Structure 1
C-alpha cells in the first residue's frame, strides 16, 4: 500500500510539471472507493495551481476548488505529455495543457474527489483527524510524546493509527522502531521522554531516507514515470523474518499485530 514516502515521491514527480496547466478534458472510468462528486465536464477550463500532500492524500489545488487524490491499496499515478489509450485498470485521466495525469488502480480502493475547499464537510471528514506531519518542522517532539502518553495500545499500532503522527505505514513503523531500539509491543503510554525523543528522530530519518530512495515497491507501486522504489532493499528488519539482524546477528522475528506483519529484533529492541 502506498504510504507517505511513496505519495511524496509521486507528488515531487509531477507537481512542478502540471502547475499552470489548464484542464482540457477529464475521463472517469470504473467507480473508485469514493465518487468524484461533480460532473467531470465542470472541471474543464480550470487551472492547476499547485500540488500538496497531507498524510497519504495528494491535494491538487485548482483555481476553484481542489482534488483529493488517494492511491488506495494498489494505485499509482502517471504524468506525461501524452499517454497511450487507457487500459482496464486506468480509472481516471485529467488532461491538461501541460500533460495528462492518470490514476491506475487494479483494486480500485483509491479515489479522486472534488471539494470546494479543505473546509468542506467531506474534506474535513477525510483530513481532519490526521496527526502531525513527520517531515515538517512542526513535528514537535513534546506533542509527540504527549500523544503517546494518552494511548495504551502497543506503540506499533499507535504509529499506524495516524492520529498522533501521520503517514508512518507498516514498513516504516517497523524500521523506525528498530532504529529507536523500541520493541513494537511496548504500550505507547509507557514510553519515556528519552525514548520518545529517539523515536521521533527515527521516524523522521526513516521517512526521509525512504523518500530519497524513491519509496518502497513491494507489489504495485511505481513512480510517476513508472520506475520502482528501492527503500525495501535497505530494510533492517521489514520482510527479513528468520534472517540475521544486520546489527547483532540474532534472527529477525515476525509477529502479527492488528492483522499486520511486524518485524523486529528481540536483542536490539528493548521492551
Structure 2
C-alpha cells in the first residue's frame, strides 16, 4: 500500500451506504482501523471488484465476483495485521523481493496469453510459478532511461534455456505497455516505472530453494532429479520462440523512451 493515505475518521463515521461508493479506483481508501468487512470496507470491495472485472488483462479472467471479493477481504485482513505489526527492514526487503517475483510471473504469463504464437509457453510458465522466477538486486544505477538497473540472479536448478525464453516474454510485455500513438508519441499503459533487469555475463547465483516436483525437462540437465523430486519426462521441452515472436520482441530492446513498432 505504498503511497496510501487512510480515510479521515470523520469521513468513515459519517458515511452511509446510501451516499454511494466512499472511494474511487484512483483514490482507493480501505480503512485499516475497522474490521475487514465493515460497511466502509464492503463498499470499497465493490469498487475493487468492478475495477478488477473491467481490467483488460487475460490473466484476470475466469474469477467470479465472490472469489474476487473474498480475496479482497483476506488481503485487507492481512494488511490490517501488518499495520498493527510493522515488518522489520529485513522482512520488508524479503516481501519486496517476493512481490517482484509475483509481478514478473504475472507479466510473463500475460505475454503468453496475449500473443497466440507464444501461448504454448503458458503451461511452462505456470509450472515454474512465481517461486521459479529469477530474483534480482538493485545496483542503484541508471540505464539512461531514468529507471533503476537490477542485476538478475540466476537459478542454478532451472533449465539454462528458460532464461532466454523469459527474456523474450519480458520484451513482449514491454511492447504491450509502450505502444506507438499518433504524431510519433508513445502511449504508456498504466503501471509503475518499468524495471530494467540486466543479465550479466557472470550472473550471481540465487540461493533460493528449487521448485520441487516439476517435469524433469524443466530442470538443469546436470541437476540430480531425485534431489528435486523431478517428474519423469522423456520429452525435451522446446523453449524456443517463433520468428514472428522474436521479431516483435526485438523491436523493443529496452530503450523505453524510443518509438517501437507494435502489432
TM-score by length of 1: 0.26
Higher share in helix:
2
Larger radius of gyration: 2
Higher share in strand:
1
TM-score by length of 2: 0.26
Q: Name which structure has the greater RCO, CA cutoff 8 Å, separation 6+.
A: 1
